[in-house]
């Protein structure tokens, strides 16, 4: 009787499932998307994104559940599945810290999330390193904190709170009232009517947005933050300005020795001078950004802010049309002019609320001319950046840009940056000074840089918003940039003073070799640089914000 050969065992396990557990844990850490909803950098992540993977098979279920580091973000008050995740995460490993995001839209009698809070909160409070709290009650008879929150938070380093209740809560978060905040480093308060009364000996980052607190309380809060390094005050929602002589308010000139970065956004014309006067300037490195200045005001103008608050000689001027801070995918009709003075000891930037609508520039050129009218602080400027001026607006801005550039005696380099993900246009030199003008004497201006970039972040956000993720995988077609306009301008002799022309483009752009050769006949040195990274103004170390979330482009995004 013939015997059958034994059939070799075939593993039914896919090779990918055979990867070591440690490798899979590392891969899974990239699945939850970070959730930076506030100003300061957060470790919150959308752990619900792990649910589909954990439900595919037992192997993936074991992998996702067995890695405690994946469950350090808790969301309470969301859907039932998220609350189950929160329950599992809060009880999984007590030695690990938690980041908690709580959104409560009703009182405990009508919101099932409160039942979960009752069970989870003691554990969450004991482990929370971050706590993000949003209250949006429609109606509330007694607008006070629920006793549930009144407990110690021994690990809490970052607290953000938005009070969107119909009746504002008239007392601060209970741990503040008890003074249990010695370890808090980052604080963000939005739409609150009352500020904390306690000391913040370790607080380094503070953001106040849409607050209705009185000015004296804001100044006194700053005086209780001796370690503060970064400050944002946005849109104080009060009708009345400071009602006493400014010197009668608490003197905080020596209370903030470490303060380096300040943002004042959308403050009323009558409020802005007060805060500029009270907030001290660091003598050895100070970054001030004033966003939303009224174009023309009797109280304060952009030029005065730039000159009065710059410390030491100004070396670089950055002039740009800033995109919308709220949504970078909005059309460019929502850009606003911005000017920054940069030096070794200070970075001062002012942006106006003037908007550019279609082909109308709505006071933009006049604002720029008025802002740069005082040249006394600009005698040492050797570098000018002109960023994101779309071709349709150049006709209006051409004259004020060129006139201001032409009057800088120490100027050596002009850089023009165009973001092709928002606008299309040919390389253009027309905002450079005309060398044939008898008024222009360019002793040092010898170099021009034309940068044609492509913002991949904008491309990614568009794909996410439209759901067309496949577009991100398609190879980009090479686009040829014409130099015909540059050649026409060079032939006039207006730019014979140039010794060097740098053409910096992303790899998706290319130039015609014949046109390049012709350009080299007019400019002795023509360099073509390719890079995926858009050149940006080099910021001093003190002006860089390591804790910025990226949602609001204050420190990193605005200086292209």
* pLDDT tens string 401-445: 888 899 899 999 999 998 765 556 788 898 999 998 887 876 899
Assess if residue 55 is contained within a domain.
Answer: no
Assess if residue 190 is contained within a domain.
Answer: no
Q: What is the mean pLDDT of the chain?
A: 80
**Rounded CA separation 551/229 (Å):** 19
The arithmetic mean of pLDDT across residues 89-117, rounded, is 71
Q: Where are any strands of DSSP class E within 310-464?
A: 316-322, 336-342, 346-352, 383-387, 413-419, 447-453
Write down the pLDDT at residue 286: 92
Kindly state the tokens that stand for 141.
């008879």
Domain that holds residue 367: 312-560
Write down the pLDDT at residue 521: 96
Assess if residue 255 is contained within a domain.
Answer: no
Asked if 559 and 549 touch (Cβ cutoff 8 Å), the reply is no
Assess if residue 144 is contained within a domain.
Answer: no
Query: What whole-number percentage of the chain has pLDDT above 90?
Result: 29
pLDDT at 202 over 90: yes
The arithmetic mean of pLDDT across residues 382-393, rounded, is 81
Q: What is the pTM of this model?
A: 0.85
pLDDT at 14 over 90: no
- How many CB atoms are located within 10 Å of the residue 92 CB? 16
The arithmetic mean of pLDDT across residues 150-178, rounded, is 84
Asked if 316 and 384 touch (Cβ cutoff 8 Å), the reply is yes
The arithmetic mean of pLDDT across residues 440-453, rounded, is 87
Write down the pLDDT at residue 9: 44
**Rounded CA separation 471/306 (Å):** 43
Write down the pLDDT at residue 559: 41
Write down the pLDDT at residue 515: 96
Kindly state the tokens that stand for 235.
């849109």
pLDDT at 163 over 90: no
Kindly state the tokens that stand for 297.
């005001």
pLDDT at 557 over 60: no
Q: 413 - beta bridge partners?
A: 383, 447
The arithmetic mean of pLDDT across residues 356-381, rounded, is 77
Contacts of 406 (CB under 8 A, 6+ apart): 433, 434, 437, 439, 440
Handedness of CA 121, 126, 127, 130 (dihedral sign): positive
Most confident of 43-47, 309-313, 501-505: 501-505
pLDDT at 339 over 70: yes
Pairing of strands 346-352, 336-342: antiparallel
Higher-confidence residue of 455 and 397: namely 397
pLDDT at 95 over 80: no
Asked if 102 and 118 touch (Cβ cutoff 8 Å), the reply is no
pLDDT confidence band for 140 (50 / 70 / 90) = low
Determine the 3-state secondary structure of 492 from DSSP. Answer: coil
Asked if 354 and 363 touch (Cβ cutoff 8 Å), the reply is yes
The arithmetic mean of pLDDT across residues 195-220, rounded, is 92
Give the number of residues written for the chain.
Answer: 560
* pLDDT tens string 267-282: 888 889 999 999 998 8
Kindly state the tokens that stand for 510.
């290319």
Q: Where are any strands of DSSP class E within 4-80?
A: 73-76
Assess if residue 356 is contained within a domain.
Answer: yes
Assess if residue 390 is contained within a domain.
Answer: yes
Tally the domains of the chain: 1
The arithmetic mean of pLDDT across residues 442-454, rounded, is 87
- How many CB atoms are located within 10 Å of the residue 437 CB? 13
Q: Which of 235, 241, 332, 239 is nearest to 291 (CA)?
A: 235
Contacts of 175 (CB under 8 A, 6+ apart): 151, 152, 153, 156, 181
Q: Which of 495, 540, 502, 321 is nearest to 418 (CA)?
A: 321
Write down the pLDDT at residue 82: 65
- Output the furthest CA–CA distance in the chain (Å, rounded): 112
Write down the pLDDT at residue 326: 47
Asked if 452 and 425 touch (Cβ cutoff 8 Å), the reply is no
Q: 503 - beta bridge partners?
A: 450, 528
Q: Which helix (H) or strand (E) holds 309?
A: helix 302-309
The DSSP letter of residue 49 is: G
Write down the pLDDT at residue 264: 93
Write down the pLDDT at residue 556: 47
Determine the 3-state secondary structure of 127 from DSSP. Answer: helix
The DSSP letter of residue 421 is: T
Assess if residue 8 is contained within a domain.
Answer: no
* pLDDT tens string 78-91: 666 666 667 776 77
Q: Find tokens 């253009």 and name the residue.
A: 428
Most confident of 106-110, 439-443, 525-529: 525-529
The answer to which of 79-83, 229-233, 247-251, 468-472 has the lowest mean pLDDT is 468-472
Higher-confidence residue of 16 and 9: namely 16
The answer to which of 134-138, 220-224, 447-451, 483-487 has the lowest mean pLDDT is 134-138
**Helix, strand counts (H, E) of the chain:** 15, 19
Write down the pLDDT at residue 113: 64
Write down the pLDDT at residue 97: 83
**Rounded CA separation 115/112 (Å):** 6
* pLDDT tens string 488-515: 999 999 999 999 999 999 888 889 999 9
Asked if 87 and 46 touch (Cβ cutoff 8 Å), the reply is no
Assess if residue 400 is contained within a domain.
Answer: yes
The DSSP letter of residue 247 is: G
Asked if 490 and 542 touch (Cβ cutoff 8 Å), the reply is no
């Amino acid at each position: 009787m013939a015997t059958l050969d034994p059939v070799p065992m075939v593993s039914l396990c896919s090779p990918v499932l055979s990867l070591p557990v440690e490798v899979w844990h590392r891969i899974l850490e990239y699945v939850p998307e970070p959730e930076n909803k506030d100003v300061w950098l957060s470790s919150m992540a959308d752990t619900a994104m792990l649910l589909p993977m954990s439900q595919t098979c037992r192997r993936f279920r074991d992998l996702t559940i067995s890695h405690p580091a994946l469950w350090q973000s808790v969301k309470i008050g969301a859907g039932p599945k998220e609350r189950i995740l929160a329950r599992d995460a809060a009880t999984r490993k007590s030695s690990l810290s938690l980041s908690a995001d709580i959104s409560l839209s009703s009182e405990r009698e009508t919101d099932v999330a409160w039942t979960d809070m009752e069970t989870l909160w003691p554990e969450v409070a004991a482990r929370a390193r971050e706590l993000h709290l949003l209250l949006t009650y429609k109606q509330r008879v007694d607008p006070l904190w629920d006793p549930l929150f009144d407990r110690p938070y021994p690990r809490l380093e970052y607290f953000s709170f938005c009070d969107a209740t119909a009746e504002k809560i008239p007392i601060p978060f209970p741990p503040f009232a008890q003074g249990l905040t010695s370890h808090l480093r980052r604080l963000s308060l939005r739409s609150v009517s009352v500020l904390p009364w306690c000391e913040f000996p370790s607080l380094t980052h503070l953001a106040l947005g849409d607050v209705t607190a009185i000015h004296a309380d804001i100044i006194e809060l700053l005086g209780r933050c001796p370690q503060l390094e970064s400050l944002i005050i946005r849109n104080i929602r009060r009708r009345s300005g400071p009602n006493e002589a400014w010197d009668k308010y608490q003197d905080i000139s020596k209370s903030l020795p470490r303060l380096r970065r300040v943002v004042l956004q959308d403050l009323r014309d009558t409020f802005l001078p007060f805060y500029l006067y009270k907030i001290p300037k660091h003598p050895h490195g100070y970054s001030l950004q004033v966003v939303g200045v009224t174009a023309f005001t009797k109280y304060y103008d952009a030029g005065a802010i730039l000159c009065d608050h710059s410390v030491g000689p100004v070396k670089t001027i950055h002039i740009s049309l800033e995109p919308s801070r709220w949504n970078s995918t909005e059309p460019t009709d929502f850009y606003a002019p911005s000017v920054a003075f940069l030096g070794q000891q200070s970075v001062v930037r002012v942006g106006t609320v003037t908007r550019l609508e279609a082909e109308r520039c709505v006071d933009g050129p006049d604002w720029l001319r008025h802002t740069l009218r005082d040249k006394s602080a600009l005698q040492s400027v050797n570098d000018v950046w002109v960023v994101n001026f779309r071709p349709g607006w150049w006709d209006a801005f051409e004259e004020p840009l060129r006139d201001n550039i032409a009057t800088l005696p120490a100027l050596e380099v002009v850089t023009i940056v165009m973001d092709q993900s928002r606008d299309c246009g040919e390389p253009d030199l027309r905002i450079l000074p005309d060398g044939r003008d008898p008024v222009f004497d360019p002793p040092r201006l010898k170099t021009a840089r034309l940068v044609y970039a492509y913002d991949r972040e904008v491309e990614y956000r568009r794909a996410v918003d439209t759901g067309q993720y496949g577009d991100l995988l398609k190879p980009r077609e090479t686009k040829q940039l014409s130099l015909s306009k540059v050649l026409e301008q060079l032939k006039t002799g207006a730019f014979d003073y140039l010794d060097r022309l740098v053409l910096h483009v992303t790899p998706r752009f290319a130039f015609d070799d014949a046109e390049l050769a012709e350009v080299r006949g007019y400019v002795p040195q023509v360099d073509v640089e390719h890079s995926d990274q858009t050149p940006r103004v080099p910021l001093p170390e003190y002006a860089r914000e390591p804790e910025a979330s990226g949602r609001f482009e204050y420190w990193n995004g605005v200086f292209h």
